[in-house]
Structure 1
Amino acid sequence: MSHLAFLSLIFTIFISTSNAISQCNGPCKTLDDCDGQLICINGKCNDDPNVGTKICKNNPPSVPFPPPPPPPTTTNTCRPFGTVNCNGRHPIYRCSPPVTSLTPAQLTLNEFDIGKSCDGKYHNNNERIVALSTGWFAGRSRCGKMILIRANNGKTVTAKVVDECDSTMGCDAEHAFQSPCKNNIVDGSIAVWRALGLDTNLDNVTVTWSMV
């Protein structure tokens, strides 16, 4: 075999091996590019519908991408920013739990027969009025607004917000040396308690509230 014939044979083998036969879904341009009974459809090797082969249909389906994770649930991120000391350490808050259509709270009993309230008026215990923890009072933005309070006995009452139950400080003369208000307090007049049918001898009861 001449040197030229040998080079021609090597070139022919290289060309023939470079045109690999495509399997299912492999790229193709002509029928010769596809393996066995597969035919070239839209640039990919696939079963021949005229023959009825099911070579590609028997291949395991591709695994889909996993669904995106659900969004994180909303949590109460309100945390104390310090403490004050009077008969023990008490946390102080600038925030309160989020307000919803059923906001859990502790209803306490307040005396409203002294001084002016946030609306500049005098109020007394015969009125259905409340003070809210600092976070819920929201920089006086809820002063004069009406809220709906729901007791566990099924009774409800509307009451007017007239003061702040200070959660940021306490244990001093300005606050009658009382500990700071907790951040989940609705401080109601005796009229509120009576309208809800609650025992006024209790220190506090669990309720829910919402804006009217």
Structure 2
Amino acid sequence: MANLALISLSIFAIFFCFSLQGNALSSCNGYCRTLNDCSSQLICIGGKCNDDPDVGTHICGGGGGSTPGDCKPVGSMTCNGKTKPTYRCSPPVKSSTPAILTLNDFSEGGDGGAPSECDEQYHDNNERVVALSTGWYSRGFRCGKMIRITASNGRSTTAKVVDECDSMHGCDKEHAGQGPCDNNIVDGSAAVWYALGLNQDLGRVSVKWAKV
């Protein structure tokens, strides 16, 4: 009889514990299935609670929501004789976010390497598409979304996010032998550069981008 009571008490304790877990909100990197599973201003990305890129929170110190001082290199990589820092984060997303526009060929056989990560497709150079640095890409959170890019000459255009400009990895076939991206890159197709009236020979140009 005593054993039965002990077993019943144990089952109740386990049930009570799971009930509490089910009602609790997850913090940074905690398991989640919906947006309501995360505490504070966190968002569910890839099954884990993380900073919300659209809100610009920096509670977890990553995922595109960190402050410039917090966005520090996590390592480095030597590729083609050059050593570059690697980043998991990017500068905070604002209503108008400063960035460096680079040129990428998203077509098959182009310098983009593998197919675009968002849709596993190659894209023609006439399409206005971009890849974003790892922090801004935010584990695919911005896949398929449109952004507006504005150049210093006053011209602007919209483009679709189709890929990640990997700030953590590189120097392999998937990345067409290129090193890791900087953490503030908007990697645009030729069509983006054309729409902005920019000379592609420049290679790198300061721009600003915003959510559409």
Provide the TM-score with structure 2 as the length reference: 0.63
Change (3 A) 1:121 1:89: closer
C-alpha distance in 2 between matches for 1:156 and 1:107: 12
Cα distance per residue 1:12-71 (max 9 Å; x no partner): xxxxxxxxxxxxxxxxxxxxxxxxxxxxxxxxxxxxxxxxxxxxxxxxxxxxxxxxxxxx
- What is the match of residue 148 of structure 2? 148
Q: Map 1:2-151 to 2 at 5 A.
A: 75-76=67-68, 77-86=70-79, 87-114=81-108, 116-117=115-116, 118-151=118-151
Amino acid at match of 2:96: L
Change (3 A) 1:75 1:122: closer
Deviation (angstroms), 1:148: 0.4
Provide the TM-score with structure 1 as the length reference: 0.63
| C-alpha contact (below 8 Å) 2:101/2:204 kept by paired residues | yes
C-alpha distance in 2 between matches for 1:153 and 1:168: 32
| C-alpha contact (below 8 Å) 2:106/2:115 kept by paired residues | no
RMSD: 1.4
1:170 aligns with 2:170: yes
* Local SS of the residue matching 1:201: helix
C-alpha distance in 2 between matches for 1:80 and 1:126: 34
Identity of aligned residues (%): 62
- Flag the structure with larger Rg: 1
* Local SS of the residue matching 1:178: coil
Change (3 A) 1:91 1:207: same
Deviation (angstroms), 1:88: 2.7
Deviation (angstroms), 1:169: 1.0
Q: Which runs of 5+ in 1 are unaligned?
A: 1-73
Paired residues, number:
139
Change (3 A) 1:120 1:179: closer
Amino acid at match of 2:105: E
Deviation (angstroms), 1:126: 0.3
Q: Which runs of 4+ in 1 moved over 4 A?
A: none
Q: Which runs of 5+ in 2 are unaligned?
A: 1-65, 109-113
Deviation (angstroms), 1:75: 4.2
* Local SS of the residue matching 1:193: helix
Amino acid at match of 2:102: T
C-alpha distance in 1 between matches for 2:115 and 2:169: 20
Q: Map 1:195-206 to 2 at 5 A.
A: 195-206=195-206
